[in-house]
């Protein structure tokens, strides 16, 4: 399947954070298992705690050496736990990232990418190779002539419009 933009690397990486509500005690459960104290950074009232001195961690168990109250700002950043996705974060792709003549769905949009009228010109192939449906309450426009490949159909749903110009 095609995609827009530069070839994506294997994944996008971000570090995970867990906010914990203090219970007046020293024992807490982490949302991700860790191998040792150094895979996390623990903060109490925005002050980083020293691994092995202020806390110990193994698996999902976090043990503080002092009590943490519910009024304390208490959170953990997982340094050894990278959360990976292959989908760019929502809202991270902007119009400025589209170059003129960007290929989209077998066609291309021509223009200056500056929001001018030239951005609305779409150049597409003359043959449709995939069956499509124009959904109800939507409009479709195709600049012809248009040829359908063998076995390909165009379905125009009730309440939809398809114009071949």
User: SS3 for 42-64, per residue?
Assistant: EEECCEECCECCCEEEEEEEEEE
Question: Residue 105 has what pLDDT?
Answer: 53
Q: How far apart are the C-alpha atoms of 117 and 104, rounded to whole Å?
A: 18
Q: What sign results for the dihedral spanned by CA atoms 84, 90, 92, 95?
A: positive
Q: Would the pTM count as exceeding 0.85? A: no
Cα 156 to Cα 32, 36, 141, 159: the distances in Å are: 49, 60, 12, 8
pLDDT-derived band at 102 (thresholds 50, 70, 90) equals low
CB 143, CB 128: distance < 8 Å: no
Query: Which one, of 15, 12, 13, 53, lies nearest residue 34 by Cα?
Result: 15
User: How many other CB atoms sit within 10 Å of the CB of residue 28?
Assistant: 21
Position 81 pLDDT exceeds 70: no
Domain ranges of the chain: 12-85, 97-164
pLDDT digits (tens, 9 = 90+) for 110-138: 555 555 544 556 667 788 888 888 888 88
Question: Residue 53 has what pLDDT?
Answer: 96
CB 54, CB 116: distance < 8 Å: no
Q: How far apart are the C-alpha atoms of 43 and 54, rounded to whole Å?
A: 10
Which token pair is 149?
A: 């490949």
Which token pair is 57?
A: 């961690």
For residue 79, whether the previous peptide bond is cis, meaning omega lies within 30 degrees of 0, is no
The residues with which 33 forms a beta bridge, in sequence order, are none
């Amino acid at each position: 399947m095609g995609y827009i933009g530069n070839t994506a690397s294997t994944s996008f990486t971000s570090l995970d954070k867990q906010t914990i509500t203090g219970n007046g005690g020293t024992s807490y459960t982490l949302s991700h298992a860790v191998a040792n104290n150094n895979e996390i950074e623990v903060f109490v009232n925005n002050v980083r705690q020293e691994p092995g001195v202020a806390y110990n961690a193994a698996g999902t168990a976090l043990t503080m050496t002092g009590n943490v109250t519910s009024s304390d700002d208490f959170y953990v950043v997982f340094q050894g736990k990278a959360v990976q996705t292959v989908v760019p974060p929502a809202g991270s792709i902007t119009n400025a990232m589209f170059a003129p003549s960007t290929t989209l769905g077998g066609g291309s949009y021509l223009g200056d990418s500056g929001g001018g009228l030239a951005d609305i010109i779409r150049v597409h192939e003359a043959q449709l190779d995939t069956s499509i449906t124009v959904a109800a309450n939507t409009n479709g426009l195709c600049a012809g002539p248009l040829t359908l490949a063998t076995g390909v159909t165009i379905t125009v749903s009730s309440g939809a419009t398809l114009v071949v110009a």
